[in-house]
Structure 1
Amino acid sequence: MALGPAARLPGVLVLLPPSETKRAGGDGPPLHLAALSHPELDPVRKALVDELVGLADDVPACRAALGLSERQLDEIERNAALWTSPTAPAITRYTGVLYDALDVGSMRGAAAGRARERLAVGSALFGLLHADDPIPAYRLSAGSELPAGGTLAVRWKPVLEPVLARLASERLVVDLRSGAYAQLARVPGAVTVTVLAARPDGSRSLVSHHNKSHKGGLARLLVSSRAEPADAAAVARIARRAGHVVERSENHLDLVIPA
């Protein structure tokens, strides 16, 4: 039975986008879908993994489907070995600007424990991952068009949206995913965040690339804090106490930075 907002379990869930770049290697056993959270997603996961492994045999088709250059053949090799390569926890597999700012590896003690409990990643290949879910390095983006047909959103929405809706009924979800990943499945009632640059003349504009760094910093605040935010207003208070300028409209927050 779904829980109402007043009965939510403690602990915010921060939903991150994945990154195109992945850390190589790992010391975990090969991919075993039963080791991942949310087993109801496994049929789509298996279909996509099998499709990527098979597609890797046709390099031109694989490059076209995944948008790869001639210098990215190693990404195809990663996909060819999805069932056999070593795994690592999802939160350490992803790299890049957002994950550098999040910097989970520097957290210690209770803060590290809270982070691992509160972090999740929206994945084009695995749908939804929690911090410790063991995954191999792979290449698949939300906008990829695989030869089997149908967008990834068409494949994921029917199975992923019910999972996200259930989580949102139990915990406050702060959805930091980028647009393409947010389109894979909606999260009802989630707190969303936009990063805006404010110019001296008062005008504002969306921050593009560097929004990842600011969202990573916000995620670090939320997942390491002792506070248990229950709504968007509480999330805004945590950010403001850390010195951020935040404006709220219902469940949406604007994080305002100097241009």
Structure 2
Amino acid sequence: MLILLPPSEGKHAAATGEPFVLEELSFPELAPDREHVLDALAAASARPDAHAVLGVGESLAGDVARNRRLRLQPAVAAHSVYTGVLYEALGYAGMTPTQRRKADDSVVVVSALWGAVGFADRIPAYRLSMSVALPETGRLAAWWRPRLDAHLGPRADGHLVIDCRSSTYAAAWHPDPGQAVAVNVFQRRDGQLKVVSHFAKHTRGELARHLLTRRGNPPTSPEALLRVAREKWEAELLPGTPRKAHQLNIVLPEDHA
């Protein structure tokens, strides 16, 4: 089982700790690509129009300034850096040691800066979205796609890929459709199914937690994942095609809050 997550936009900056060590990150073959993006991000963050390039407001000046010295910043495990609705619902801190090891082995976060990192990889807080086009690099989703395909593809081989990423981050790597399931979340409203982004993030986090904390073997097929999801939610599975992953649709009740 491989669970793909998006990073959070907001990140927790550690107050103390040693800087990251590039060679210690998961997928070490990506080191030259990470060096490139680190340099490009530092250069973009030093520009007079840095906020426009990065698509952030002036209130995030501190984050932009930090981008210029990421190699010197304290680094901690990725599960402590990423925050927000999805990660709160996943609740890594409240897991048992065994469940945490399972999360460290099973979760990969697709990142605009790192390409992809494991849950236990030590990284600093940074500000960069996959939708950004860095000068002389281009839009990061397109830039990372062939590089992630070369290294995430082998990691996913033989595993069911449970894709909880947002569309922005899903664009950076397309797993083999035959072994991948994209997770969608809807809510019933006035008898119709509506997409609700806040609930979608929270429910994807809850699904990841359920997969990591439940007893029994992890699902190895889309149909098995559907059975696991139905332990907690109303859900349906739409079969994939040669070019599109299976779709797991989780349906929240009208009174869900």
Same fold (TM over 0.5): yes
Local SS of the residue matching 1:95: coil
1:174 paired to 2:162: yes
Q: Structure 1 residues 27 and 223 mapped into 2: Cα distance closer, same or farther (>3 Å)? A: farther
1:198 paired to 2:193: no
State the match for 2:242 in structure 1.
none
1:256 paired to 2:251: yes
1:128 paired to 2:116: yes
CA deviations on 1:157-185 (whole Å, 9 max, x unpaired) are 11101222212213211011100101011
1:13 paired to 2:2: yes
Whether the 8 Å CA contact 1:14–1:219 is kept in 2: the answer is yes
Question: What is the one-letter code of the residue matched to 2:184?
Answer: T
Structure 2 unaligned spans of 5+: 240-245
| Alignment counterpart, residue 209 of structure 1, candidates 194, 198, 203 | 198
1:239 paired to 2:234: no
1:99 paired to 2:87: yes
Q: Distance in 1 between matches of 2:70 and 2:233?
A: 41
Q: Distance in 1 between matches of 2:12 and 2:81?
A: 5
Give how far 1:149 is off: 4.1
Write out the 4+ residue segments of structure 1 that deviate beyond 6 Å after TM superposition: none
Q: Distance in 1 between matches of 2:81 and 2:202?
A: 17
Q: Distance in 2 between matches of 1:149 and 1:239?
A: 39
1:66 paired to 2:15: no
Whether the 8 Å CA contact 1:111–1:225 is kept in 2: the answer is no
Whether the 8 Å CA contact 1:28–1:134 is kept in 2: the answer is no
Structure 1 unaligned spans of 5+: 1-11
Q: Distance in 1 between matches of 2:21 and 2:157?
A: 28
Whether the 8 Å CA contact 1:173–1:190 is kept in 2: the answer is yes
Total equivalences in the alignment: 245
Local SS of the residue matching 1:120: strand
CA deviations on 1:112-137 (whole Å, 9 max, x unpaired) are 22122111101011011111111111
1:161 paired to 2:156: no
Local SS of the residue matching 2:110: strand
Compute the TM-score of the two structures, normalised by the length of structure 1.
0.90
| Alignment counterpart, residue 146 of structure 1, candidates 134, 151, 159 | 134
Whether the 8 Å CA contact 1:90–1:133 is kept in 2: the answer is yes
1:54 paired to 2:48: no
State the match for 2:24 in structure 1.
35
Q: Distance in 2 between matches of 1:28 and 1:14?
A: 28
CA deviations on 1:32-74 (whole Å, 9 max, x unpaired) are 210101122111110010111222222x321111112111101
Q: Distance in 1 between matches of 2:16 and 2:102?
A: 23
Q: Structure 1 residues 26 and 171 mapped into 2: Cα distance closer, same or farther (>3 Å)? A: farther
Whether the 8 Å CA contact 2:137–2:143 is kept in 1: the answer is no
Give how far 1:190 is off: 1.1
CA deviations on 1:181-216 (whole Å, 9 max, x unpaired) are 010111113111110111343x21212222100110
Alpha-carbon RMSD across the aligned residues, in angstroms, is 1.4
CA deviations on 1:74-113 (whole Å, 9 max, x unpaired) are 1112201211001011111100000010010000132222
Compute the TM-score of the two structures, normalised by the length of structure 2.
0.91
Question: What is the one-letter code of the residue matched to 1:229?
Answer: P
Identity of aligned residues (%): 39
Whether the 8 Å CA contact 1:101–1:213 is kept in 2: the answer is yes
